Amino acid sequence: MRTERLAADAASIARAAEILRRGGLVAFPTETVYGLGARADDAAAARGIFEAKGRPPGNPLIVHVPDVASARALAERWPDDAERLAQAMWPGPVTLIVARRPDRVADEVAAGGTTVAIRVPVHPVARALLDAVGLPIAAPSANRSTQISPTTADHVEKSLGGRIDAIVDGGPTAVGIESTIVDVTTSPARLLRPGHVAAEAIAALVPLQTTAGLITATTERAPAPGTHARHYAPRAQVALVPAEAVRDEVERAARGGARAGAIERGRGTADGRHAEVLPADPAGYAAALYAALHRLEDAGCDVIVIAAVPEDPAWDAVRDRLTRASAAA
């Protein structure tokens, strides 16, 4: 299959919408990461996502819609907590899990479950595409399953080129990590995946319980995307170590014959051209993390040593991604 590379202009958006309407696969930018889109009401199109990504069938997809009314139309029940969060947080990087209408969302999208994950993106390209298609679009991250999420069109091309119909190039994404996922089918609501929007902001609006470190076996249906133990991971071995141990770990790996890279926060101690220093604040770090992992992977690093981030709740989403990236394959 030849993968078309499309610009983020009106003609390209129209072309991407045409591909999606006929059941094809299109990668496009959101404010979080690039998503791999297909019609959420088409079982064959949804299966195409799982095949292209090599995604376990028990891992549900997030459905993207242009507004709150479109989200309500996919739900069997729309709780008060869903309305409160939707009005406050959408458009934006928050995903709500609600009971689904089976006539509006394919079983494959929901991984055979009774719920569906929905969000309204804020990215202008994603919004233009949703308006042009006129259909709900299922879109997990546009990469092979468990691998590093893409924050540029080049990342998508590297992972899925030749497997999908088209990529809409909207430049680098701004947030850089995936959305916060909240299950509003229960009361109190449950935070299933930390993301750019902190638990504190959600809890200020609705009663909330957190499920920190939630892990789902790959043979089971996951309650939400991103709950498998290994996720967001480069091909290299990832070692999380205290900040003061980064230099020693890099040198030890190099002495063992490995090509070693490092990711540090705020300031660097590791020498060499495979050292990445990311911002000291959690939002800046998150925005830069996946791109740094892609660069180190592309440089051929066998080992990536990452300085552990603070235990502060502001770092929960980043810590979740690093923990899963360093899990054993």
159 is in an annotated binding site: no
HSE-CB at 47 with a 13 A cutoff on CA atoms is: 4
Based on C-alpha coordinates, what's the Rg of the chain?
19
| 218 has binding-site annotation | no
193 is in an annotated binding site: yes
Asked if residue 141 belongs to a known ligand binding site, the reply is: yes
Q: Is residue 285 part of an annotated ligand binding site?
A: no
Question: By CB neighbour count within 10 A (0-12 exposed, 13-18 middle, 19+ buried), where does 13 fall?
Answer: buried
Strand order in the sheet with 303-307: 237-241, 303-307, 260-265, 275-278
Say if residue 326 carries a ligand binding annotation: no
34 annotated as a binding-site residue: no
Annotation-wise, does 155 bind a ligand?
Answer: no
CB atoms within 10 A of CB 158: 17
Residue 15 counted as an annotated binding residue: no
Cα–Cα distance, 292 to 7 (Å, whole number) = 24
Q: How far apart (Å, rounded) are the C-alpha atoms in residues 189 and 202? A: 9
2 is in an annotated binding site: no
Reported as type and span, the H/E element at residue 117 is: strand 115-119
> Residues annotated as binding site?
32, 55, 59, 64, 115, 119, 139, 141, 149, 179, 193, 232
Known binding-site positions for ATP: 55, 59, 115, 141, 149, 193, 232
Write out the binding residues for L-threonine: 32, 64, 119, 139, 179
